[in-house]
Chain A
């Protein structure tokens, strides 16, 4: 089967700013593909080009086998969209919002009633179908948008930051629906996120930074590629601890999340040596396997939070040197 999404050299520039600098990737049918990167990395721009909302400056892309520039209408028929910001009419009821969508997408009237019930039951909103959307919470609105995005049985569902701004409980509920969706519908899911925990749910992720794709692989393979464990220690004098680590072990460390943090090949085996040789009281120590955070850091040179706040990639630089 052909790729659900196929992108070659896709580019978008606004004046002198290169928002997306020529990206290439393919998404297989049935895959959950994640675009991971900090805000401003070019995720939304890329998704908007794939959804035919903005015209690429260069390169090509096909979605469900149709070109996003020359076959705009065909692409639109075959995709479902859930945006970061709600696009519902609060003055209409949930069902009215969905019916509006069905008419615009030309869903055959014969199947509409059944389909409507099915997608609303999937997101557990069937019993609220007659309520006005303005009475819904943020999570309910997002669920309704997911139901709406599925109403016309799209081949590819685009989710732009589907859980941003939601509380953790709602986030996990949304993920429950997305996972259920993979089982019941014949669909490819393309999503963007800047939550590491969510990227774990994807079959494959593409890390995007400054408009370029840094790496594409499964979360497991990406984590395995890092190899090193992360060690964090608390001491009475972080400056001195960092200096001592460099002096005695040749390790570059940095203060991250309030703790002296560094990477070593086998963390557990290193801890006894650390206590014996550092020559500075250590209050606590933790060793963790590489997370996607570490993956992101090792490929882009900064943590996703730091990249967003725009300051300090000391840890990243340390990490990069240590590798």
Chain B
């Protein structure tokens, strides 16, 4: 081969290099998502089942009790959260997959801060989960939720925030996991109770006090509630029904404003991200 050799001189590391690294890790997550149709479909089936099968079934049971609102409408914001949470968790789990198949090593030996890789991964998980949530958003009309631009934008933002935090949580879990089975085992164990206690499936009003305490300390509650508030804000519901189905979160009788709930989710997300970065920055 006589061709001229193309020589590359790699510039010293800089902030823009880290941004490039974040972007490419994010880009890969998106490529993987777009290429993996099976995953997209399987992630969708569960909430659709909940919404239209469970929601319809339970709805007939409670129809007399809560007048004026379809039970499925109540479940809708919960199902958005559930979809987003599951997708975000799966995205985070791909770090374990990357470790098993060696690709994680390719990322970890690169001359970039581990922080860039973790941030790229979390952003990737958040974008993918939000994209998945969009499909559920598209079904709004089927359960009597109006397609209003303000509502859609609010929900998208809230979905993204929730997804980012959950991905950070998942990445942190994945930091020490060596195989997919154990990751999914731990994930089920952590996510299932959090989901049940988040208000995604039943209203958090008039619960026994022990259950009320658990729902209040569950961080997911603060990710699910703003979405329900947003949806109910655009519905025409009698006050007493709203009070049952959309009670909000109260701390010792004080109702938390949505902005504080979102702030809380953001702070938890940032904290988890920080711990995840330190976990990945360790070397033997």
Query: Size range of the interface on A?
Result: 35 or more
Majority secondary structure of chain B interface residues (helix, strand, loop or mixed): loop
Please name all residues of chain A whose beta carbon is closer than 8 Å to the beta carbon of B7 when the two chains form the complex: 111, 153
Answer yes or no: B189 CB below 8 A from chain A CBs.
no
A73→B13 contact, CB < 8 A:
yes
Q: Contact: B111 with A73, CB < 8 Å?
A: yes
Given that A118-B5, A118-B6 are known contacts, is A100 also in contact with B24, CB under 8 Å in the complex? yes
Contacts of B23 in A (CB 8 A): 103
Taking CB atoms and an 8 Å cut-off, the chain A residues in 50-105 that contact chain B are 51-55, 73-74, 76-78, 81, 83, 85-92, 96, 99-101, 103-105
Alpha-carbon separation in the docked complex, A85 to B103 (Å):
10
B residues near A73, Cβ cutoff 8 Å: 13, 111
Interface flag for A114 (CB, 8 Å) = yes
Among A74, A87, A115, the one with the most B-chain Cβ atoms within 10 Å of its Cβ is A87
Q: B3 an interface residue at 8 Å Cβ cutoff?
A: yes
* B110, closest chain A residue (CB): A104
- Chain B contacts of A91 at CB under 8 A? 31-32, 35-36
> How many A-B contacts at CB < 8 Å in the complex?
107
Partner of A92 from the list B11, B12, B28 (CB cut-off 8 Å) is B28
Interface pair B102/A83, CB less than 8 Å apart: yes
Contacts of A121 in B (CB 8 A): 1
B12 neighbours in A (Cβ, 8 Å)? 77
Task: Report the Cα distance A152→B9, complex, angstroms.
Answer: 7
CB distance from A57 to the nearest CB of B (A): 10
Instruction: Assess whether A85 is in contact with B102, with CB atoms less than 8 Å apart.
Output: yes
- Identify the closest chain A residue to B2 (Cβ): A184
B8's partner among A53, A89, A100, A152 (CB-CB below 8 A) is A152
Residue A108 interfacial (CB < 8 Å): yes
- Are A101 and B106 in contact (CB-based, < 8 A)? yes
The yes or no answer to B21 lying at the interface (CB within 8 A) is yes
Q: Which 8 A-B pairs have the closest CB atoms?
A: A103-B24, A76-B111, A87-B102, A104-B110, A153-B8, A87-B106, A77-B111, A115-B6
10 A-B pairs besides A52-B283, A107-B8 with CB distance below 8 A are A53-B284, A55-B284, A74-B111, A87-B105, A100-B106, A103-B21, A104-B107, A106-B10, A114-B6, A121-B1
B interface residues (Cβ-Cβ under 8 A, vs A)? 1, 3, 5-13, 17, 20-21, 23-24, 27-28, 31-32, 35-36, 98, 101-103, 105-112, 283-284
Please name 27 pairs of A and B residues whose Cβ atoms are closer than 8 Å in the assembled complex, sorted by A.
A52-B283, A53-B283, A76-B110, A77-B10, A77-B12, A85-B102, A86-B102, A87-B102, A87-B103, A89-B28, A89-B32, A89-B98, A92-B32, A96-B31, A101-B106, A103-B23, A104-B110, A104-B111, A105-B111, A106-B11, A106-B13, A106-B17, A111-B6, A118-B5, A153-B9, A153-B10, A185-B5
